[in-house]
Amino acid sequence: MKDYKGYLIDLDGTMYKGSEVIEGAIEFIDYLNKHNKSYLFVTNNSSKTPQEVADKLNDMGFNTSSEHVISTALATSGYISEIDPGASVYMIGGSGLKSALTEAGLEVKNDEHVDYVVIGLDVEITYEKLSVACLAVRNGAKFISTNKDVSIPNERGFLPGNGSLTSVVTVSTGKTPIFIGKPEAIIMNQAIEKIGLSKEECVMIGDLYDTDILAGINSNIDTIHVQTGVTSLDEIKAKDVLPTYSVQNLFEVIK
């Protein structure tokens, strides 16, 4: 296996499952820290701040920091602020998304007269929140969704993901949003820029083909599929475009 300088790493299904650490994950991050390898956790979860993500990892036994996290919340705020600084936003989502938008200098408003509608995962979703989003999009607001995941893994099973919430607004208004998260190139390009390396020097690691592996493929970087989460090895073998590598766990990546 190629010795990469930069690693873009999925979380759920790759580092942990719910509250359980996946075999080899802590040892892999320790290896990266010891050998001064650059890495970023690339997550479609917009509800948590980078510090909250890092705190969860450290509580589970990892040794990392918020500087090693890029979320769809950060990628979304970066995308909007770059093309439309100071824009007004109506958002559906958690504290992580709100913090990212406000820290990027965007105005978060609670009405339908805004420049953008941004939808992220919101476990306290209501009919009223969706109604305001629909009205704003109908009024001409640009429509952005942090990611298209229709379901998310949980100890209880698979629960509705942000893509499911987004679809309500799409169906009601007939407008398709710009998606930011994996497998789209927007978050990946920001991650590669943040890590400061060329695409040839980086690799994307994840368990789910339709998000993690396709994100790497769509961004023209190498990929490592780990057989510890959603997509099985048999399912991988049936794909038209294969990952660069598929490993049983991250012990196989440690040199």
- Does residue 10 have a known ligand-binding role? yes
Cβ-contact 111, 131 below 8 angstroms? no
Cβ-contact 223, 202 below 8 angstroms? no
- Which domains are present in the chain? 6-44+182-252 (3.40.50.1000), 85-179 (3.40.50.1000)
Average pLDDT over residues 128-141: 98
* Residue 159 pLDDT: 83
* Residue 155 pLDDT: 67
- Does residue 59 have a known ligand-binding role? no
How far, in Å, CA of 255 to CA of 49, rounded? 32
- Does residue 207 have a known ligand-binding role? yes
What is the amino acid identity at position 124?
A: E
Which residues are catalytically annotated?
10, 12
Instruction: Tell me the whole-structure pTM to 2 decimals.
Output: 0.90
Task: Give the closest residue to 45 by CA, choosing from 67, 10, 72, 18.
Answer: 72
Cβ-contact 130, 168 below 8 angstroms? yes
How far, in Å, CA of 1 to CA of 98, rounded? 40
- Does residue 12 have a known ligand-binding role? yes
pLDDT digits (tens, 9 = 90+) for 68-99: 999 999 999 999 999 999 999 999 999 999 99
- Long-range contacts at 173-179 (CB < 8 A, ≥ 24 apart): 173/134, 173/137, 173/138, 173/143, 175/137, 175/143, 176/143, 177/119, 177/143, 177/144, 177/145, 178/79, 178/142, 178/143, 178/144, 178/145, 179/144, 179/145, 179/146, 179/147, 179/148
pLDDT digits (tens, 9 = 90+) for 166-205: 999 999 999 999 999 999 999 999 999 999 999 999 999 9
pLDDT digits (tens, 9 = 90+) for 50-69: 999 999 999 999 999 999 99
* Residue 157 pLDDT: 76
User: Is residue 222's pLDDT more than 90?
Assistant: yes
How far, in Å, CA of 48 to CA of 69, rounded? 11
* Residue 255 pLDDT: 72
